[in-house]
Structure 1
Amino acid sequence: MRTACFVDGYNLFYGLLAGTQYKWLDLPSLLAHILRVEHPENSLASVSFFTSGVKPSLASRGILSKEAQDSYLRALIARGVSVTYGRHQLESGKAPRFVDKNTPASRLDQVDIWKLEEKETDVHIAISMYRLAAQQAGMMPEERIQQLVLVSADTDMTPALRALREDFPSLRIGVILPHREGIKRTIPGSLKDHSHWMRHIVTTEELATHQFPDRVPTLKKPAVKPDYW
């Protein structure tokens, strides 16, 4: 079953990779493996990756964080992954003051904050999945995608999955949650309700097995694994 995967990069990083030694992830290899585990006849046809560029002024390692992201995206592109960029938006706002865990938040006690939000990613993913589904009717049978897989735990994607299930009933829909084993997380029921199958965790062994080599050849200079990764 020819499969196209759509990956929320923010969800992938913070749900699966942050704080680990496995950030230099060979994403196409991992996804191909998971698809085969789900069903031996599954094959990976394409990977689309959606992210926003790091803002060095707000990153924990400044410009090094941006350079690390750039290197990883170059490695993904060299392996045939399509990368689509959203954007970050920084706005001032207010939020309830944190006193301690035993004191509830109150709108009567707020402080000024900066809010950093990722914009456009969900819309890009939803439109890309729907467009690909709509294009299948005009393609030769051997070229058609039979399955779309979302790699995200974001329930904002629920309306997109619902529309795909209703409008393209012959398409199979899967969801891979970017969750590490050993960390208890709530399963997003709305995504599960509108998919044919769901993978709940990615194991540490799978992450360790599916890593890029330290230097990934590209059309220009190699993409090199960041030292601190």
Structure 2
Amino acid sequence: MTRTSIYIDGYNLYYSRLKGTPYKWLDVTALFRDRILLPQDPGATVVSIKYFTAPVKANYARHGEASAQAQTQYLRAIQARAPELVQVINGFHIFGPTSLPSYREGTDPSKDHVSPVWMIEEKQTDVNIALHAYRDAVRGACDQLVICSNDSDLEPALKMICEDAPAAKLGLVMPLREKDTAEGKVPNKRLTALAHWVRRHIRDDELAQSQLPQHVPTKKKPASKPLHW
């Protein structure tokens, strides 16, 4: 039995793989445990699924308050679906004014031509993934760590896990479309070099087969799929 913990970069998964698809109401347990991990390692037993995200800012989101409510419903749903496994770890967003080079066709960016813009940043997601994965590895909380992200910011943490917990096995699931890899978009080589195995994309049929029910029972009011999803 290979005790396995799964770490999902929710922002990376959404914007790299789910945005623009009908598969946003995703059962992460069904996808990552049943359709990705078990075919790769039939002897694996999932002991935790950690989903890292940050609360949506309604005044910046495409659907305003409906986007914030959609995220709330979704996080309630995935936790209620597998309460013994799924944990949501939140970071936060910050807004701030800054200046960036203006786009001028045919010229390189220049600090001599800048425009004021609002900058939005998601904070703590990368460091939360890194710290949770590292702590779980060095404490022996799992034998295998499976990380869903294509973010090179995780490279130092994965290197330290390899050095400080050499018995731990690392798996990577890249939140890419099948056509992305077919068209030459490659998974982050800095991360794949550190992994024991790599899943290079997530297929549409896997997402379609891993959807939550329209209404997911919870201890309170059911969590329902948002209308605009």
Could you say which TM-score interval applies, normalised by the shorter chain?
A: over 0.9
Paired with 2:3 and 2:22, the residues of 1 have a C-alpha distance of: 31
CA contact (8 A) 2:175 2:202 kept: yes
Q: CA deviation at 1:167?
A: 0.5
Q: How many residues are matched?
A: 221
In structure 1, the residue matched to 2:4 is 3
RMSD: 1.2
SS of 2:59 mapped into structure 1? helix
SS of 1:179 mapped into structure 2? coil
Structure 1 stretches (4+) deviating beyond 4 angstroms?
A: none
Q: CA deviation at 1:130?
A: 1.3
- Pick aligned residue for 1:126 from 120, 130, 135: 130
Q: CA deviation at 1:170?
A: 0.6
TM-score of the superposed pair, with normalisation by structure 2: 0.93
Paired with 1:103 and 1:226, the residues of 2 have a C-alpha distance of: 44
**2:117 aligned with 1:117, yes or no?**
no
Q: CA deviation at 1:46?
A: 1.2
CA contact (8 A) 1:8 1:51 kept: yes
Q: Which runs of 5+ in 1 are unaligned?
A: 137-143
- Pick aligned residue for 2:142 from 128, 131, 145: 145
CA contact (8 A) 2:138 2:164 kept: no
Paired with 1:134 and 1:40, the residues of 2 have a C-alpha distance of: 24
CA contact (8 A) 2:138 2:161 kept: no
Paired with 1:37 and 1:111, the residues of 2 have a C-alpha distance of: 50
Q: CA deviation at 1:42?
A: 2.1
TM-score of the superposed pair, with normalisation by structure 1: 0.93
Q: Which runs of 5+ in 2 are unaligned?
A: none
Q: CA deviation at 1:178?
A: 0.8
CA contact (8 A) 1:89 1:118 kept: yes
In structure 1, the residue matched to 2:162 is 165
